[in-house]
Chains A and B, each alone.
Chain A
Amino acid sequence: MDMNEIKEIFFQECEEQLAELESGLLKLNDGDRDPETVNAVFRAVHSIKGGAGAFGLDDLVSFAHVFETTLDCVRSNKLEPTQDVLKVMLKSADVLADLVSASRDGSGVDESRSRGLVKELEALAHGEMPSSSAHEAPKPAAKAAPAPKAAPAPAPAAKAETPKPTDDSGFQPIPFSFDGFGEDEEPAIEGSVYEVSFKPRRELYSKGNEAALLLRDLSRLGEMSINCDTDALPALDKMDPEASYFSWKISIRTTKSEDDIRAVFEFAEWDCDLEVKLAEEASSNEELPMVPVPFDLSILDDSSASDEDEKAVQSSADETVAAAVSAAETATSVTKAASRASEKKESAAAAAAAAAQNNAAAAAAAAGQTIRVDLDRVDRLINLVGELVINQAMLSQSVIENDATGTSAVNMGLEELQQLTREIQDSVMAIRAQPVKPVFQRMSRIVREVADMVGKSIRLVTEGENTEVDKTVIDKLAEPLTHMIRNAVDHGIETPEKREAAGKNPEGTIKLTAKHRSGRILIELQDDGAGINRERVRQKAVDNDIIAADANLSDDEIDNLIFMAGFSTADKISDISGRGVGMDVVKRSIQALGGRISISSRPGHGSTFTMSLPLTLAVLDGMVVTVAGQTLVVPLTAIVETLQPEASAIHSFGANQRLISIRNSFCPLVDVGRVLNYRSTQANPVEGVALLVESEGGGQRALMVDAIQGQRQVVIKSLEANYTHVPGIAAATILGDGRVALILDVDAVVAASRGQSMKPEMSLAATG
């Protein structure tokens, strides 16, 4: 496995982490305050950062780091995840996703945007944690850290101003220089003394981490003294060579923040007991039974030194500790009680975090195991199963032909085979079934971005995102859905001012719902905007010669005009308060998926787009019919009912139109044989069967066929693969006798019949 493959796996994992991140943030946005959610979000960013670090993707690492720092504040309850905070975080998640894809394909990113967000994130983090603003001081931090250089006096005031932070460093504004790091490198007289207690667990070593290296890294942050606690060390004969016996107490004087100290232990933090606190606390705990053992820092630089030979050596301990204590005493003017209280809070938070971590581990285990499989392999399997189904049907048919009694053992065996094949087919299809969640999540990003662009405030509510549908459908769903969401945000929802004027909540809501209904997936996109302005839509359609000026159209028909090709051109979009931007493109792509789309709109209350899509593009439940000696398959989902027309129900209408009356309503009769050019004259309806179908756009048509053979599930075969698209035909399939049957494209047939019938109707309306 070469580096690129590993990198590719990393990117795949990144995508999963990003999805996790976004869904977690959205949960938080909805008011979820489960610490586990916060942890999941944190972990996602953390993993991306870790992986990115391994591949040297510096941009990604640095952004993820800032993001992570802010998330950590939320995790440790230092930062309240308010809507505003989450807004920034969601944007950050978007930028993180951009950075990931930029690293993947080398494309550029909007740097100003990511820089701006870095500032915002830092502001959020610092706003509550003034002490960590050691390198930068964004405006929000200034409030909490008003201390001018080298003036620690107003610390209590800062504390009072920010009652929220439980960060015990909050009370100590650190004098620092904005001018650059150079000065920080000077022997640090300033800076605070932290007491770090570090007790590695066995896992730390087994994962290849090295306590000595961590300590060496720590030593770079400032002046430190180390005490090794060897009490746990058993007698030599009881010693487990792989166990961890040592723990360290480190006292470090540094200008860096607590977070920086924690960052040293970043990749080991799950595998050790780590405590970082200001030395003030330590001074009160000096009676801790600790044996200071001399520790030679220089051995830390010898990377070959194993922890077993590690001799805890104290270096320059006396002066440092003394300095630390005095620094702590002089620099802090806060009562012990206050710090105690904050200490308590922090430990409670830590306990909660630890508990949540355990939960997470349990949840991860319960989530079940998954494997990554190349999609091609699944497709091959699906194709093979399709062949199996056809073969099984052919075999059954020839057996039945030769064995009329239907009682032979062969027949029984065949029946079982049939069931097995069906089960195999279902299981294989289930492999490809995926929840629509990833697509829906992408939509929330689009809503955010477009809403920001047009200055609207919009909430996306999603429902049923775990509804499963075939992967190919999901992949192809994203594009039309994006288009529709953009439209809804741009044209559907009004500006906040208009909304307020109309007495609505200034924040618009777009609702995206997915659900299963009778073997199809139904996706609804609902906005609470102004709805379609029928007057203007109609006018537009007349201007563009789509309908006659005096055409008599129902409201529904007017709404559905927006799906007509050439209804609107891009530069005229904003002229229309309704929709109509490339909706014909949306409709076409939905139709290409074997789906239908329709719209219903209530002026002032918004519009709802309803898309009905097949669950899979591989099989279809169809009604097998005969037309002019040909066998055709009509998708079952299109058929409302079937009926045997009586002569009295057929009415001639105009030159060559016929209507059939069904329960007192008249419905145009379409001879499928004529539309497909199978015969030159119209068949006598009384001799055939009428299939009442509902085409998108609401209208019903009665399709005339000669006879119904039965219902069956058919495997869809592409006609385009070796031929071209055939008008009126959606695809082909192979029937039990091994012959090819064509699958009727009901909508296209209806449209074709409408195209022929439209003009006479219009002229009638004009003369009438």
Chain B
Amino acid sequence: MSYAVKSLIEGSKELIAFRISDQEFCVNIMSVREIRGWTQATPLPHAPPYVMGVINLRGAVLPIIDLSARLGMKDAEPTARHVIIVSQMKTKVVGLLVEAVSDILTITEENIQPVPEVSSDLERQYARGILAVDKRMICMIELDALFPDQESEAA
């Protein structure tokens, strides 16, 4: 039974989990278009530090976001083992640079725990919940909340 069918039956959803530094995050699999290896990006002038540049995705110009930097952690130093999660945000397609994809999770709403009260605005802005899977903690993030500027421009 495919994930999609399963999720329909059980009212659950699929998430794709990935690693940045030593933390694990996940996003809804429906917003992920493809996963590909890291290639050198062309830097963009005057771009925010977390925008690594643009790459050629079969003829389309795809901006690459260093998710580590965007989430307030240290800048990534991409290697050949890093991967890019190509995801759809509203009308735009962007690539998220992460260290590795770790898992595909099937969860239901009750698996999601609320985000604990933390002082940082940044975490509250993107975190949508916390999952406990095999003693690991996975933070579920909302992609659209990560790039509110782009969202408004796309609209």
Contact = CB atoms under 8 A, between A and B. Distances in A.
Interface stretch (A48-56, A606-614, A636-644, A737-745): A737-745
B61 interface: yes
Contacts of A727: 45-46
The interface centre, meaning the residue of B46, B55, B62, B94 with most chain A CB atoms within 10 A of its CB, is B46
A159 interface: no
Interface string B78-100: 00000000000000111000000
A719 interface: yes
Given A677-B46, A727-B45, A740-B42, A722 B59 contact: no
Contacts of B149: 724
Contacts of B92: 721-723
Nearest to B92: A722
A386 interface: yes
Contacts of A739: 40, 42, 55-56
Contact of A723 (B45, B56, B63): B63
Interface residues of A, number: 28
Contacts of A390: 59
Contacts of B94: 722-723
B60 A717 contact: yes
Tier of interface size on chain B: 20 to 34
A742 B55 CA distance: 11
Given A739-B40, A740-B54, A722 B46 contact: no
Interface string B45-72: 1110001011110111111000000000
A722 B93 contact: yes
A678 B61 contact: no
Contact of A678 (B45, B54, B59, B153): B45
Contacts of B43: 630, 678
A220 to B, nearest CB: 61
Interface in A657-689: 675-678
A717 B54 CA distance: 12
Interface stretch (A29-37, A102-110, A496-504, A728-736): A728-736
Contact of A728 (B46, B53, B93, B153): B46
B150 interface: yes
Contacts of A675: 45
A544 interface: no
B35 interface: no
B44 interface: yes
A721 B92 CA distance: 7
A742 B59 contact: no
The interface centre, meaning the residue of B40, B53, B56 with most chain A CB atoms within 10 A of its CB, is B56
The interface centre, meaning the residue of A717, A723, A729 with most chain B CB atoms within 10 A of its CB, is A723
Contacts of A763: none
A718 B92 CA distance: 12
A728 B45 CA distance: 8
B42 A630 contact: yes
B15 to A, nearest CB: 24
A9 interface: no
Contacts of A734: 56, 59, 61
A387 interface: yes
Nearest to B44: A726
A721 B153 CA distance: 11
A718 B61 contact: yes
A729 B61 contact: no
Given A721-B92, A722-B93, A739-B40, A676 B59 contact: no
9 A-B pairs with least C-beta separation: A676-B45, A723-B63, A740-B42, A387-B59, A732-B61, A722-B92, A740-B54, A734-B56, A717-B61
5 contacts: A677-B45, A722-B94, A732-B61, A734-B61, A739-B56
